[in-house]
Amino acid sequence: MSGSFKSTMNLLKFLHWLGVLMLVCGLGFYMLTQWSLEISGMLLISSLIGLGLVLMSPYPVVLFIQWAKRQDEQSK
């Protein structure tokens, strides 16, 4: 059980950093290129930013779960 829990946490951490990368790429395309003036560019930029934010969102939950597990282990 502990091994699968740890691998799930690592997966969520990886997805967090992937989301950060997607968000930074989307913001970079928005600020540094003219793609935001075309429909296809708007779609690409909004998808990168939106999916990046969605992938980043579970990370605080992961941190809370890890904190709660440490608190539970310390109280035993």
- Distance, in Å, from the CA atom of 21 to the CA atom of 9, rounded to the nearest integer, reads 19
pTM: 0.79
Could you write out the DSSP letters of every residue in 11-76? Answer: HHHHHHHHHHHHHHHHHHHHHHSSGGGSHHHHHHHHHHHHHHHHHHTTHHHHHHHHHHHHHHHHH-
The arithmetic mean of pLDDT across residues 54-61, rounded, is 88
**Quick one: pLDDT at residue 4?**
79
- pLDDT tens-digit profile of 6-43? 788 888 889 999 999 999 999 999 999 998 899 999 99
Task: Give me the pLDDT at residue 63, please.
Answer: 84
| Long-range interactions of 63-66: CB distance < 8 A, separation 24+ | 65/9, 66/9
- Arithmetic mean of pLDDT over the chain: 89
Residue for token digits 């969102």? 57
Model confidence at 48, pLDDT cuts 50, 70, 90, reads very high
